[in-house]
Amino acid sequence: AQSVTQLGSHVSVSEGALVLLRCNYSSSVPPYLFWYVQYPNQGLQLLLKYTTGATLVKGINGFEAEFKKSETSFHLTKPSAHMSDAAEYFCAVSDLPLTGGGNKLTFGTGTQLKVEL
Amino acid sequence: DTAVSQTPKYLVTQMGNDKSIKCEQNLGHDTMYWYKQDSKKFLKIMFSYNNKELIINETVPNRFSPKSPDKAHLNLHINSLELGDSAVYFCASSQVSGSATDTQYFGPGTRLTVL
């Protein structure tokens, strides 16, 4: 069974500082990994995803994540935090496609990012 | 243009009532999903439909009944509402590529409060 662990339910950084949000996964097959962001009172928006190929994935809003198979990790980073980055971030894993179509995302418990002046 | 829309945005109701949440996507996607996000922000899939056919039913109580009149719509009907049903419900959709890499696009959510 696939699962995701996000270390740190709350992360606080200063504006301009590095953002690091941690995600570790467990999957019996090569996983596909996603990072979603949820702004207050909104739905989830895809930041980036890892499928195959290059292990460093660039996403929107300056975020990137690196897939490290040896560490079963997919940590999200951004070199310089902005106030507008304050949101809830979810890591998710998907492995096998579903018979009949679609895929099943298993989400982590989320990390609330706070950005301070 | 809203890609995935849900109505209503807020729903407050009494225990024991029956209510419905509607979802529509204009992305031309084949697959639609319902997720429940609890008070601790944990997201869990409830159902998925592909072209009006049920694909996933994640041991959801049978008080919850999804209905897909066409592939652009997936409504969620809940009978005999309980306090524990209070949550934010998200609809999502994806274009089927035959792999597990499909991006799911989420609606804005419906906050259900059961009193």
pLDDT tens digits, B22-61: 999 999 998 899 999 999 889 999 988 887 788 877 778 9
A40 prior amide bond cis, ω within 30: no
What gap in Å lies between CA B18 and CA A59, rounded to an integer?
A: 41
For testing contact with chain A, the best of B4, B21, B37 (most A CBs within 10 A): B37
CB contact, 8 Å: A89 with chain B?
no
Chain A contact for B27 (CB, 8 A cutoff): no
pLDDT at residue B101 greater than cutoff 70:
yes
Residue B90: pLDDT over 70: yes
A97–B40: do the CB atoms touch at under 8 Å? Answer: no
A27-to-A63, A102, B99 alpha-carbon distances in Å: 24, 18, 16
Residue of B nearest to A94 (CA): B100
Q: Report the gap between the CA of B33 and the closest CA in chain A (Å).
A: 9
Distance in Å, alpha carbon of A33 to nearest chain B alpha carbon: 8
Q: How far is B87 from chain A (nearest CA, A)?
A: 13
Report residue A54 CA to chain centroid gap: 16
Query: Which among A93, A94, A97, A101 has a CA at the least distance from the CA of B55?
Result: A101
Q: What is the mean pLDDT of residues B67-71?
A: 89
Residue B71's pLDDT band (cuts 50, 70, 90): confident
Q: What is the dihedral of CA A63, A68, A69, A72, to 10 degrees?
A: -80
- pLDDT at B60 (0 to 100): 86
pLDDT band at A62 (very low <50, low <70, confident <90, very high): very high
pLDDT of residue A9: 93
CB distance A75 to A91 below 8 Å: no
Q: What is the mean predicted confidence (pLDDT) over B55-79?
A: 89
pLDDT value at position B109?
Answer: 94
**Do A65 and A35 meet the contact criterion of CB atoms below 8 Å apart?**
yes
CA-based nearest residue in chain A for residue B104: A46
Closest CA to B97 of B52, B50, B53: B50
Cβ pair B36, B87 in contact under 8 A: yes
Give the chain B residue whose CA is nearest to the CA of A95: B100
pLDDT digits (tens, 9 = 90+) for A22-61: 999 998 777 899 999 999 888 899 999 998 888 999 999 9
Show residues of chain B in contact with A90, CB under 8 Å.
43
Pairing of strands A87-94, A106-107: antiparallel
Q: What share of chain A is helix, strand, coil (3-state, %, to 5)?
A: 10, 50, 40
Tell me if B48 and A102 make a contact (CB, 8 A cut-off).
yes
Residue-level length of chain B: 115
